[in-house]
Amino acid sequence: MKKLIAANWKMNKTVPEAVSAAKELKLLIKNSKNAEVAVCPPFTALEAVGKELEKTKIKLGAQNMHFEDSGAYTGDISPLMLKGIGCEYVILGHSERREFFKEDDVLINKKVMSALKNKLTPILCVGETLEQRSSSKAREVIDKQLRNCLDKVNAKQMQNVVIAYEPVWAISRGISNTKPATKEDAEEMHKFIREFLGNIFDSATAKNARIIYGGSVKPENAEELLSMPNINGALVGNASLNAKSFAEIVKAAEN
């Protein structure tokens, strides 16, 4: 399975800045064969970045969406709109959406179902807080998030879902000296997620599931995290804002 390296630019980059980053990135990774790369700019830059990435293998993704195809939802963006401008991926249930916009598992599940219906691949984020980890509740939290967010998803649909394990305590929130989970801790949780998928779906679905890691991935630590058997890629925030450092992470996934 090719590793998926996805850039989450969050609420950063104006349209010209986003286009220029995409231009730089496509040159830097033009020879990359063994990794799948996706870029998730803010909504305003999706179309322009999509045009810049035309005829490349770099895929386009959004950072959120509404679950309805259209309607009276002021300020929101629908899956049809994303599909219409060439998005293939959509990040759902990011911890920042859960924390700052009070998104819960029920809402995230509606979005997952809607993404699948509209042939968008959800990158479903799950992760525990530091407090939950310190009180040995990490597995319980991930189990509940996955159970709720994947409610009504069947094994066939699961082939088109990416799970991003993003421990909330490891996410940099724009600060560059934060530490990721150790490769052992990340691997342990990824293995747990794969076993969970084996239990609710079947062993083939679990084996083929893409489970990517997110939280302070940088060029310095990408290779060791990506070398772990159950880590199938990375969701990269801060380090993806710079095309060169993101390209180095993509190179680490090629090995």
Enumerate binding residues for ligand PEP (CB under 6 A). 8, 166, 171-172, 214-217, 235-239
Catalytic residue list contains 94: yes
Closest CB to ligand PEP among residues 206, 250: 250
Q: What span, in angstroms and rounded, lies between the C-alpha atoms of 195 and 170?
A: 23
How many CB atoms are closer than 10 A to CB 33? 8
Q: Quick one: the chain helix, strand, coil %, rounded to 5?
A: 45, 15, 40
What DSSP string describes 28-70?
Answer: HTTT--SEEEEEE--HHHHHHHHHHTTTSS-EEEES---SSSS
CB of 217 to ligand PEP, least distance (A): 5
CB of 214 to ligand PEP, least distance (A): 3
How many CB atoms are closer than 10 A to CB 154? 11
CB of 71 to ligand PEP, least distance (A): 28
Closest CB to ligand PEP among residues 205, 232: 232
Closest CB to ligand PEP among residues 118, 216: 216
Closest CB to ligand PEP among residues 92, 206: 92
CB of 94 to ligand PEP, least distance (A): 6
Catalytic residue list contains 66: no
Closest CB to ligand PEP among residues 84, 174: 174
CB of 59 to ligand PEP, least distance (A): 17
Cα–Cα distance list, 120 to 30, 85, 207 (Å): 24, 12, 21
CB of 171 to ligand PEP, least distance (A): 4
What DSSP string describes 157-214?
Answer: HHTT-EEEE--GGG--TT-TT-----HHHHHHHHHHHHHHHHHHS-HHHHHH-EEEEE
Q: Sign of dihedral through CA atoms 26, 27, 29, 33?
A: positive
Q: Which residue is nearest to ligand PEP (CB)?
A: 237
Closest CB to ligand PEP among residues 157, 172: 172
Chain-centroid distance of CA 32 in Å reads 20
User: Which residue among 166, 187, 190, 248 is the active-site one?
Assistant: 166
User: Which residue among 36, 52, 66, 94 is the active-site one?
Assistant: 94
What lies within 8 Å, CB to CB, of 81 at 6+ separation is none
Residues known to be catalytic: 94, 166
